[in-house]
Amino acid sequence: MKPAAVVGAGTMGNGIAHVMAQAGAEVQLVDLSSELLDRGMATIAKNMERQVKKARMTAEQRDASLARIHPSTDIGAVGGAALIVEAVTETPEVKFEVFGAIDAAAENGAILATNTSSISITEIAAATGRPERVIGMHFMNPVPMMPLVEIIRGLQTSDETVATVAETAKALGKTPVEVNDYPGFVSNRVIMPMINEACFCVMEGVAEPEAVDDVMKLGMNHPMGPLALADLIGLDVCLHILNVLHEGLGDDKYRPCPLLRKMVAAGRLGRKSGRGFHDYS
Ligand code: NAD
C-alpha cells in the first residue's frame, strides 16, 4: 500500500490507522497534542494485542504494524501521503479548517477522504482546491472489526478517485459500498429513523426499552436492539444526525423524538455517561 495519513487519533482515527498499518502502509497519524496521540497509539497497541491473543496476527506482525505508524502534531506530516483520511471532531467549521490545511500540505495528486457521519462531502470538497479528489470514506465503529466502508461520492468527485478509494478499502480487507452525497448517506438515513421510532415507542408507552430491543433482536434478527445501539453510538450523536436529516431533507418524518431531546438535555447520553435507555452503572 502507498503511504497514507490519518488526521484525528480518536475513536475512529486510531482504528483507521490500525487497519492501514496492518495492511502494510506507512501511516502518519496527526492530532493536536502528544497526549492525544499517545492515547491513540495505546489503543492501537491494545487492540493489536487482542488480535495476537486470538491468533489473528503474530507478535512480529504487530510490532511491524505499530512501527509503521508515525504520530505527529504537525499537519505538514501528511505531505508524503497518497491518501489522507480525516477523522477529526464532527463540527463543520473544524472540518473545513482542517481540510484547508490538509489541502495546503498534501501533494497535488493526493486523495483527501473524510470519515464524517453527517457533513456534506460536497461542502467539505469546496473548502479545497481539488474537489474531484475529495471523497467520503465512512468507516464503521469499531474499525478493525466492521467490514463496511461506505464510499460517498461528492458532486464533483471523479470516477478515478472513487475507483482508487474502493481499491484501497478492499486492500484494507473491507467491503466498499458506493453511495451519493445526500444527508445521512445510506447508513444513517436508514438506521436513525429506526432508532427514532424506537424512542417514540418508549415515549408513547408502547413498550419498555428492554422490550423494544428484544422485539428487534429476537424477531428481526438484529444483533443489537435499536436503543442499545443508540446508547452505544451516543444519544447526543443520534440527535445531531437526526437534526441533519430533518434540516437537510426538510421532511418531518425525521423530526427527533422529544424523549431523545429530553434525555440528551439531562445528560443521559448512553454508555459514555453510564446511562441512556439502559443503565451501565
Ligand atoms: P473523537 O472525538 O474520538 O476523535 C476526534 C479526534 O480529532 C480527537 O482526538 C481530536 O483531538 C482530534 N482533532 C480535533 N481537531 C483536530 C485538528 N484540528 N487536527 C487534528 N486533530 C484534531 O471522534 P470520533 O468518534 O473518532 O469521530 C471522528 C469522525 O468520525 C467524526 O467525523 C465522526 O462523525 C465520524 N464517525 C464516528 C463514528 C463513531 O462511532 N464514533 C462512526 C463513524 C464515523
pLDDT, tens digit, for every residue of 188-197? 999 999 999 9
d(CA 40, CA 171): 23
Same fold: 4-180 with 188-273: no
- Residue 227 C-alpha cell reads as 436503543
- According to CATH, the superfamily of the domain at 4-180 is NAD(P)-binding Rossmann-like Domain (3.40.50.720)
DSSP per-residue string spanning 243-281: HHHHHHH--GGGPPPHHHHHHHHTT--BGGGTBSSSB--
On average, the pLDDT of the chain sits at: 97
Neighbours of 279 (CB within 10 A): 10
- Residue 235 C-alpha cell reads as 444519544
Pocket mutation for ligand 1, best pick of 6, 12, 93, 96 (most atoms within 8 Å of C-beta): 12
d(CA 73, CA 36): 9
* Binding site membership of 148 for ligand 1 (Cβ less than 6 Å): no
* Binding site membership of 16 for ligand 1 (Cβ less than 6 Å): no
Centre of ligand 1 to C-alpha 10, Å, is 5
Amino acid 256: pLDDT:
98
Q: Is the bond preceding 147 in cis, omega lying within 30 degrees of 0?
A: no
Amino acid 10: pLDDT:
95
Centre of ligand 1 to C-alpha 95, Å, is 10
Nearest CA to ligand 1 atom 44: 117
Percent helix, strand, coil in the chain, to 5, is: 55, 15, 30
Q: Write down the domain spans for the chain.
A: 4-180, 188-273
DSSP state of 106: S
* Binding site membership of 88 for ligand 1 (Cβ less than 6 Å): yes
Nearest CA to ligand 1 atom 8: 10
pLDDT in tens, 93-123: 999 999 999 999 999 999 999 999 999 999 9
Helix (H) or strand (E) holding 6: strand 4-7
**pTM confidence score:** 0.95
In the Cβ-directed half-sphere of 41, how many Cα atoms lie within 13 Å?
A: 20
Weakly modelled stretches of the chain, pLDDT under 70: none
Centre of ligand 1 to C-alpha 18, Å, is 15
Q: Which CATH class is domain 188-273?
A: mainly alpha
Active site residues: 117, 138, 150, 188
d(CA 201, CA 271): 21
DSSP bridge partners of 6: 29, 85
